[in-house]
Chains A and B, each alone.
Chain A
Amino acid sequence: MSDLSLTKPNNPATQRGFTIFLAMLWRDKLAFISALVLVLVVLCALVGPALLGDLATNQNLRGRNSPPFDMTRGWAFFLGGDSLGRPMLARLIVAARSTMMVAAGAVATALIVGATLGLVAGYMGKNISQAIMRLADVIMSFPSLLLAVVVLYVLGPSIPNMILVLAITRIPIYLRTTRAEVLEVRERMFVQAAVVMGASHGRIIVRHVLPVVAPTLVTIATLDFAFVMLAESSLSFLGIGIQPPDITWGLMVSQGRPYLTTAWWLALWPGVCIVITTLALNLLSNWMRIALDPAQRWRLEARSTTDV
């Protein structure tokens, strides 16, 4: 009996929570579309290479730089062909995987490491804080491209190494932001109330400080996503990033650059993909900031919004 009463109210509650979440997403149409776009991108990244891998690498020299919106060569050439006659559409879908892997990997690593160090630096004593901050200064003052060249030359270009290099150069941004916010939040009254209650440091950081800092970090992370994608393309351009036949959107942009005057579609489509993905992430993070804040949530719950 007691078992029932414990589990029963729990299950519908979480299920209802999910429906409410979906309803709030539906309320903000832009965020809803963004979520769909991101789901599509992730699907492409997951199944694209398995389905279209061969198609994307098959050269067809008669279709070199074939113009877009022409269905005579089949649907794969709808967005045109590249300089070796490979279908753009298929390549874009296949490229989604390595692009997302590098970008998401680098951003997530930088976010987790940076935020953890920032929380420690902001919350703990002066000495630890000083040590961490000087480390961040060293990373920031070292030219990131130089660092990347050295590391990738020594370790060899590969996706994990790319993630490592890009993450290291982005860590200070999260670290500094987190520390600055923590310094302010930990002086707030509810943190002191938790101290009086006897809460441990870990509990205060996780339950009271992190939830306040998190929205800022998520916003920065989504902006960073685009930056990392482009940084990855410049490394690839220098020949120390992703190497052909592997492809990423960034690499496709830089490969299309020489043909900009004759075949614009080579650089444009991957560029559009980068823009759409980042834009969707931005819109979704904006929605998330509101949805996760109890004081703001009513904006998404209200039936009719009469914002001026």
Chain B
Amino acid sequence: MSEALLDVRNLSVDFHTARGTVHAVKNVSWSVNRGETLAILGESGSGKSVSASAVMNILDMPPAQIVGGEILFDGQDLLKISYETHRALNGKKIAMIFQDPLSHLNPVYTVGWQIVEMMTAHGRPADKARQRALELIGRVGIADPEQALHKYPHQFSGGQRQRLMIAMALMLKPDILIADEPTTALDVTIQAEVLALLKELQLETGMAMVLITHDLGVVAEIADRVVVMSKGEIVEQGTPREVYHNAQHPYTRQLIGAAPGKGEIKLLEAAAPVLLETKKLCKTYGEFTALKDVSLVLHRGQTLAVVGESGSGKSTLARAILRLENPDSGEALWKGQDLIGMNARELLGVRRQIQMVFQDPTQSLNPRMSVYQLISEGWDIHPIMPDHAQRRERVAELLLQVGLEPDHAQRYPHQFSGGQRQRIAIARALALEPELIICDEAVSALDVSIQAQVIALLEEVRARLGISFLFIAHDLGVVRDFADTVIVMKAGEIVERGATRQIFEAPQHDYTRRLLAANLDPDPDIQAQRRLAGAHP
């Protein structure tokens, strides 16, 4: 067996919590060589980040404890060396980039200062460091490097910040780059660009890359080898092609099956009466145009998807319809009545009919209320269920309907997983018997397999109760299986609209095509074909 550059052998890590010991990582082994990209694939809680954190020595160690195994870097066991030696290796030989570059850049220092610090901290002269910083910032594709050095992190967009993080990581020409979900927080088109950049840089420097991700598409695009983790164990490994076409473990198969965008596209049903219609909605914040002449029509019982990248105005649209924000001009007609002109009393009546499911259930559920209180709160406001005994029954019924247990009613949100919390949020929306549910990125914070379950739940609710959906998403794949019609937004404007099939099979606008192309397919073969065809921008 040839000596790998980084070799993790039989690593086991425990977390000691008040509820007992959790075996976060059990007997995990993986290795990576120069010039190679290893992807560690897994959902949240699978322990995929833990082994990488152990390599970097950034595990919090009272709660965590490394109980066994070794991490060999160039033949040296990283678990046995002193803290000081490790510090010298970190950044210099092994570098890491993180999911959210905003929280990993210090907001009070200029970007230039922070990048240069990376080298001066390892004892290099400042002028040399500055020169290398300029060179690298140019290399990662940021215009005007000289200017960029003097700017602060908030002055860059998310994609640019991730590029800066990459530049920072590469300052000392590391042998290994560990990337923890590097593109999860980014828009699809930006994600494609960042992945392409990483690939190029790897070819240039010959470094090894360890990519931690939950996204099969990213694996298909960039990885040479992949290990699939579930509940702290490696359940499968091999090349992306082998794993995708020949998955052995049931978990891997489930993961591949859950990837969105493979189902039958629905055909638009015969036109039902119009439920919601907006006419030329406009909203500006100072110089920034959030909405520009947005007009849309939603029929009863149908699902309208609004797709766009961050800053495209899709959330502002939802907020304007819900009157959380007042548009500058335009109309929003709910069954023919204008929502924008309504007074508080009229609005209260409509509030019950339009419900919303938010992106992050951790934040949209009051942490101090029990599930029963959360679901039944709407009945205190709208007098549709005055009898308390009946309420208990109805809450139990709703919990069953969204796939939870009736006795969960006495628990609090923090006792549930992310997917379960989103189910509670859906039950809360259903409690008021609405006619329209607006989902603002309702599934984008969830793991793929949970995402599939939640969408199936929404689909079922729609079929059974005839509720219409306005479904806001940044991910075209999710929308494909669920929507009747799709609207694509860019910079506050609708650039394309049409039946789902038409958008996916015959996109008219350039931007729609770019979005479709940037959407990574979980199948490595298709992804390879696309690369050859040069579909990437």
Contact = CB atoms under 8 A, between A and B. Distances in A.
B381 interface: yes
Interface string B304-341: 00000000000000000010100000000000000000
What secondary structure prevails in chain A residues at the interface with B? helix
A154 B281 CA distance: 62
A114 B444 CA distance: 41
A211 B367 CA distance: 10
Nearest to A199: B381
Given A2-B389, A6-B389, A294-B412, A192 B324 contact: yes
A199 B369 CA distance: 15
B388 interface: yes
A203 interface: yes
A208 B428 CA distance: 16
Given A203-B381, A294-B368, A197 B18 contact: no
Interface stretch (A86-94, A242-250, A297-305): A297-305
Contact of B364 (A6, A189, A294): A189
Nearest to B347: A198
A193 B364 contact: yes
A197 B367 contact: no
Contact of B367 (A193, A295, A299, A305): A295
B382 interface: yes
B420 to A, nearest CB: 15
B358 A197 contact: no
Given A294-B412, A295-B412, A302-B18, A196 B363 contact: no
Interface string A198-221: 111001000110011000000000
A188 B365 CA distance: 10
Contact of B360 (A189, A207, A302, A307): A189
A286 B45 CA distance: 32
Nearest to B62: A308
B324 A189 contact: no
Interface residues of A, number: 30
Contacts of A188: 363
Contacts of B322: 196
A262 interface: no
Interface in A263-308: 293-295, 298-299, 302, 305-308
Interface stretch (B221-229, B242-250, B349-357): B349-357
A6 to B, nearest CB: 6
A207 B363 CA distance: 16
B377 A198 contact: no
A195 interface: yes
A5 interface: yes
B368 A193 contact: no
B323 to A, nearest CB: 9
Interface in A151-189: 188-189
Interface string B400-413: 00000000000010
Contacts, number: 76
Interface string B425-439: 100100010000000
A26 interface: no
A281 B381 CA distance: 37
B90 interface: no
A190 interface: yes
Contacts of B352: 198
A207 B367 CA distance: 12
Interface in B127-165: none
Contact of A190 (B19, B364, B382): B364
A190 B18 contact: no
Contacts of B370: 294
A207 B377 CA distance: 10
A293 B348 contact: no
A299 B18 contact: yes
Nearest to A208: B366
A194 interface: yes
Of listed A188, A190, A200, residue having the most chain B CB within 10 A: A190
Of listed A189, A194, A295, A305, residue having the most chain B CB within 10 A: A189
B139 to A, nearest CB: 39
B69 interface: no
B414 interface: yes
Contacts of A208: 366
A305 B367 CA distance: 23
B498 interface: no
Interface string B461-498: 00000000000000000000000000000000000000
A293 B368 contact: yes
Contacts of B412: 294-295
A163 B440 CA distance: 51
B365 A190 contact: yes
Given A189-B363, A294-B412, A295-B414, A196 B324 contact: yes
Contacts of A299: 18
A27 to B, nearest CB: 13
B378 interface: yes
Contacts of A193: 356, 358, 364-365, 425, 428
Nearest to B359: A189
Contact of A197 (B16, B365, B378): B378
B366 A197 contact: no
A211 B356 contact: no
Nearest to A190: B366
A193 B347 CA distance: 15
Contact of A198 (B18, B364, B382): B382
A161 B285 CA distance: 51
A126 to B, nearest CB: 16
Of listed A188, A197, A203, residue having the most chain B CB within 10 A: A197
Nearest to B344: A200
B356 A196 contact: yes
Contacts of B354: 196
Given A6-B389, A189-B363, A299-B18, A197 B368 contact: no
Given A189-B360, A294-B367, A197 B432 contact: yes
Interface of A: 2, 5-6, 188-190, 192-200, 203, 207-208, 211-212, 293-295, 298-299, 302, 305-308
27 contacts: A2-B389, A6-B388, A6-B389, A188-B363, A190-B363, A190-B364, A192-B324, A193-B358, A193-B365, A193-B425, A193-B428, A194-B366, A196-B324, A196-B351, A196-B356, A197-B377, A197-B381, A198-B347, A198-B348, A198-B352, A198-B378, A199-B377, A199-B381, A211-B368, A294-B412, A295-B367, A295-B412
Given A188-B363, A306-B18, 14 more contacts: A2-B389, A6-B388, A192-B364, A193-B365, A194-B377, A196-B322, A196-B354, A197-B378, A198-B378, A207-B377, A294-B370, A294-B414, A295-B414, A302-B18
Interface of B: 16, 18-19, 62, 322, 324, 347-348, 351-352, 354-356, 358, 360, 363-370, 377-378, 380-382, 388-389, 412, 414, 425, 428, 432
4 interchain residue pairs of minimum CB distance:
A198-B351, A189-B363, A294-B412, A189-B364
